[in-house]
Each structure stands twice: as C-alpha cells, then as structure tokens.
Structure 1
Amino acid sequence: MTEDWELERSDLVATLAHELRSPLTGVKGFVQAVLNRWDRLTDEQKKFMLSTALVDADRLSRLITEMLDVARLDTGRLQLHRRPTDPGPIAQRVVGSVSMTTSREITLEVADDLPEIDADPDKLAQVLTNLVDNGVRHGDGTVAVSLAAEEGYVRFRVEDGGDGIPDQVREHVFTKWWTGDKSMGTGLGLYVVGGLVDAHGGSIALDDRPGGGARIDVSWPVYAD
C-alpha cells in the first residue's frame, strides 16, 4: 500500500512538473519580450503577446485548481458554494476561453428558456472547461457543445470527431490518470469532472457520436425553490 502511494505521488509530481512548465515558459517568454522590446513593438504586437501570456496564466490557474480539487475529492473535503445559476453565459464564456487556445472550431448551441441549475458557478465552469478541452485534445474536427432542458435537469453535451472511445476503456475514462491513447494532459481532468458532477447530484453518460467520435452528456439538476 505504501509503495503504491509513493508511486502515485511520484507520478503526480512528474506530471505536474511537465504540465506546469509549458505555460509558465510561455508567460515568462512573452512578458520578457514585451519588456525588452517595448519601444519597438506596435500596440497590436503588445496586445497579442500579453493576451497570449494571459491565456497561459489562466491555464496555470486551472491546473492548480484541478490539483487542489483532486486532493479535496480524495479526502472528502470539497466545498461547494451552490446557488441558482444560469448555465448559458457560463457555457459561452468557457467556449470563448478555450477557443483562444486552439485553431479547432468549437460550436455552441444553447436552447431557449433554460431553467436555472443548482450549481457552484466556478465548479460548473471548471467541469465545462475540462470537457471541452478534452474534446479538443482527443478528437478531430469540430467540437460541438450544446445545452438543452430535460425533466429536472439541464443536459450539457460535448461531442468531438475522431475514433471515439472503445467500449473496453470507457469504464476508465473518469478514473485518475486516464489520458487515452494520446499522452497529453494530467490524466486528472475527467476524474475531477466526475467528482464535481457527482457532488452536485448529477450524472454523466458516455456514448458514440453519430458519424464518428465521442459524446459526453452531463445531466445537471435544476434549481428547486
């Protein structure tokens, strides 16, 4: 048991070091370039460099939040600040943010008159960010995000192209360290998604996308007065 724990801790440290290095290098590089060449850069160049540094800083912040939530989920110390939440604007913000980090097309369809859901808005944004980012990382073509009302729930659907997820590995998708066939990410994003959705009383379903690819549906409880 001790050896397994030590191995997991070593894996965690190695993964963190790898994942944090890239955005941190980006932030440092762009900020240094702006400082060293301030008088020679146009306003557009400055804006581009600082915007890129901000995207990398946001990624660092998400990684740190993810790691803290893993620890809290594992120890049962997760705290939620739940309140009536309009999911549409949060989904729009998430799609806009992730779109800034990729050349892949991400579409969003939000049904009219969605009910408010019972959610910690920050955790909802984290769940959607991880799902959309997962679609970008592991699929091909367009990532399609949609929100629709179901009886007692709002359904968040994220679909991507590609080969989909084989039946034999689906049970592992929301477990710790799962990264799929491509060695990208911490392998903790969907583990956190599963924990946060479960903590809110929701559920997750994984299926094939018609025409190829993967489909993840999250059913999130609506707010009850």
Structure 2
Amino acid sequence: MGMAVGTSRPAERHGALLCPMEGPAPGAGGLGIDPDDLPDGLVVADEHGRVVCFNAAAARITAVRAADVLGLPLEHALPLEDLNGRRWWTLTDPYGGLATRVGQPERNLLLPGGREVLVSARYVRERPTGPLRRLVISLRGTEARRRSERSHAELIATVAHELRSPLTSVKGFTATLLAKWERFTDDQKRLMLETVDADASRVTRLIAELLDISRIDSGRLEVRRQPVDIAAAVGRHVQAHVTNGHGSDRFLVRIRRDLPMLWADPDKIDQVLGNLLENAVRHGAGTVTIEVAPATTAGPADAECDEERGTAVTVSDEGPGIPEESMARVFTRFWRGSKRGGTGLGLYIVKGIVEAHGGTITVERGPGGGAQFRFILPVGAPAYLA
C-alpha cells in the first residue's frame, strides 16, 4: 500500500520502506507516491545518515535487498567508490561539508565487486545553510550509456574506415603525379585527376553525413524553408542518373498537376531524393517509379482542423525488396540492405531531414515486389501566407 503525499510516518511494503514525503505535490491530486513505482533507484538517508528508503529499483541496480540495508549508516549500505578507488561518502562528506552545497551532479561510481552505477544526490536542508535534514540519492544503471558509447564508437569506426580508402587513393595519385609528372601522357593525368576529384567528393559527402548526424542527434538540424518545385527536383535527379549511364526507360515519373505550393529546404530535399533514388538504382531492379501527389497530414493539436495539405513522394523499385523482419530497422544507423558498400547512414539521415520538416517517412513492399519508400511533407507555408 502506497503512502499519500503529506504523510510523515514511513510505512513498509514488500520489505522496502516508503519514503517520508512532506507537503502536497503539485498536481498529485491526492494520489499516493510509492518509491517502488519509480524507474530509477531511490535511496534516502535521514539527518543521522541512516537509510530510511531503499526502493525496488535501487535493490535491482545494487543487487542488495532492501531489508538488509534499512537502518544502516549510508556508507555501509551503499559503499561507493570513485574510479580512483576513493570512498565516495568520505570524499564528499555531505553531512559535515560546506553548508552551502545543494547536491552532487550525476557521475559514474563503483559498488563493491566493480559494478558501475550512475549516482546523483540532493541535499535537503532545514534552511539554505542549515544542517542536512535528508540526503536523497538517485541511482541508474549504466546500460543506456554503454549503448550510446558503443553507438558513437561504431560511428567513428565506420566513418574512419570509409575515409581511409578515398584518402589513400588521393594521397597515392597526388604523390605519383608530383614525383613523375613528365612521365605521364595527358590522358593518364586526366584519368588520375578525375579519380582524385571523385574520391575528394566522396570524402566531402562522408563529412557532410557526419555533421548531419550530429545535428539530428542534438536536435539542431536547421531547415531553411523556401518555395520548392518538387517536380523539377525529381526531374534533375532522374536526368543525373541518365547522364551517368542508366537508361531513361528505367525511370517512370508520375507527377500530379494539382500539387500544393511546398515550402521546404531545397538542399535537404535534394539530399532526400538523391538518397532514395540512389538506393533504388543500386539495390533495386527493374523500373524505378517516382510518384509525386498531394496528400493530407495530421495537423497541429491546437489547429481547428485535424488535417493540413502536404506533398507525398513515393519511390519504388522492382528488386528483391526488404525482408519483413528488417522493415523496423531500415531507418536506424548502420542498416544496410546489401553488402554493396555504403555507410548505412543515409536512410537514418533521410528520416531525420523529413521529420525536421514536420513530415513522416515509411517503407513497405511495393507493387512490383521491391522496396517502396514514401515520405509526406506538410506544405510548411509561412504564417503570413496561411
């Protein structure tokens, strides 16, 4: 049974002590607050430094039973050490240290046996510089941080691997040309310089991808909206593939005439179209179909209507498609539909760009059996044009 906010007498539940709470919590509505319902570990020590609360999450994270530590001095119940082997409670001295301190920021500490845990603390005092009345400690496992660190390490390793090949080529050809310029014919020089130029462009794309990922992950991807002719943009990308040697009969473009005016970032829309068409040409087969049509999107929660105008772009091919079990992972980092090169970052960036415009993107099996990507962008017109 949980304890209602405002009750000062602690109560027990399943061997764990419910924390004494004081004063009504805003918006609590009279509901009880049970520490065992909290997702993070919670440990509370009283004014004497003895543990009066040890919730279920704390027991799970520390592998210590609540019944074994309730009433013990904090340094015995939770014998933390920093990464240099120093006893944490002796080092920070929450009860005897500076009275102006209000807590400890989260940091990585060690439990006996080397178990890592993320710990933060808040010092609750009678008055701003008064004696410590209660020490509230939050515990979290390190699994989520480890996953994030592995993801960043994998990103760095992938980018480093992809950069090594073109940079080696650039270095080799430029060194050769500088050392033996007179020995090569004009055609040989042109071929080597064209290779250097192509590899330099590849490095530039990789760096741009890395910057895009950084901005997407931090929520700082900027969208510079202006009118975009989506039909002309599709035409440019198709023509680029035809110029590069693909037959014009491989592409089927269907553009509806009644398209709404689209306000978006033209460079980023080019990036989305380029990636989707490149995937369809490289990994798909048969005819690549691009359809552009009006669409409706979910409107803002406070809007008078539930729908607003938008533009839908669908890119599909007739290749083997994407296995059903992989559909959910298509837009994650490092997903590759085949082993034929690529960093596996393109579709992750595409999704980030579309969502930065307030749109959505989906993937499914197309009518011809291949992959079908469909993204919908809201019109995005400025308020003065609405």
Structure with greater Cα Rg: 2
Gaps of 5+ in 1: none
Find the residue that maps to 1:170 and give its secondary structure.
Answer: helix
Note closer, same or farther for the CA distance 1:54–1:180 as it changes in structure 2 (3 Å cut): same
Are residue 213 (structure 1) and residue 357 (structure 2) matched? no
Contact in 1 for aligned 2:256/2:292 (Cα 8 Å): no
**Aligned residue number for residue 81 of structure 1:** 224
Which piece of structure 1 moves more, 109-118 or 3-12? 109-118
Once superposed, what is the RMSD of the aligned Cα atoms? Answer: 3.2
- 1:32-77 CA-to-partner distances (Å, cap 9, x unmatched) read 777736972259x83x665554444333322211111111111111
Contact in 2 for aligned 1:88/1:110 (Cα 8 Å): no
Contact in 2 for aligned 1:94/1:129 (Cα 8 Å): yes
Are residue 64 (structure 1) and residue 64 (structure 2) matched? no
Note closer, same or farther for the CA distance 1:165–1:198 as it changes in structure 2 (3 Å cut): same
- 1:175 pairs, out of 323, 328, 332, with 332
Note closer, same or farther for the CA distance 1:144–1:60 as it changes in structure 2 (3 Å cut): farther
How do 1:55-204 residues align onto structure 2 when only pairs under 5 Å count?
55-97=198-240, 107=251, 109=253, 111=255, 113=257, 114-150=259-295, 152-182=309-339, 184-204=341-361
Find the residue that maps to 1:132 and give its secondary structure.
Answer: helix
Write the letter of the residue equivalent to 1:157.
Answer: T
Size of the alignment, in residue pairs? Answer: 223
Contact in 2 for aligned 1:117/1:154 (Cα 8 Å): yes
Which piece of structure 1 moves more, 5-14 or 71-80? 5-14
More strand by share: 2
- 1:15 pairs, out of 158, 162, 172, with 158
TM-score (normalised: structure 2): 0.50
Distance 2:366 2:161 in 1: 32
Note closer, same or farther for the CA distance 1:27–1:101 as it changes in structure 2 (3 Å cut): farther
Pick 1 or 2: higher relative contact order, CA cutoff 8 A, min separation 6. Answer: 1
Note closer, same or farther for the CA distance 1:187–1:115 as it changes in structure 2 (3 Å cut): same
Which piece of structure 1 moves more, 152-161 or 118-127? 152-161
- 1:115-161 CA-to-partner distances (Å, cap 9, x unmatched) read 43121111111111111222233223443333333452222221223
Percentage of identical aligned residues: 43
Distance 1:37 1:145 in 2: 49
Write the letter of the residue equivalent to 1:196.
Answer: I
Write the letter of the residue equivalent to 1:8.
Answer: S
**Aligned residue number for residue 185 of structure 2:** 40
Distance 1:57 1:99 in 2: 23
TM-score (normalised: structure 1): 0.80
Contact in 2 for aligned 1:111/1:149 (Cα 8 Å): no
Gaps of 5+ in 2: 1-142, 297-308
Contact in 2 for aligned 1:141/1:161 (Cα 8 Å): yes
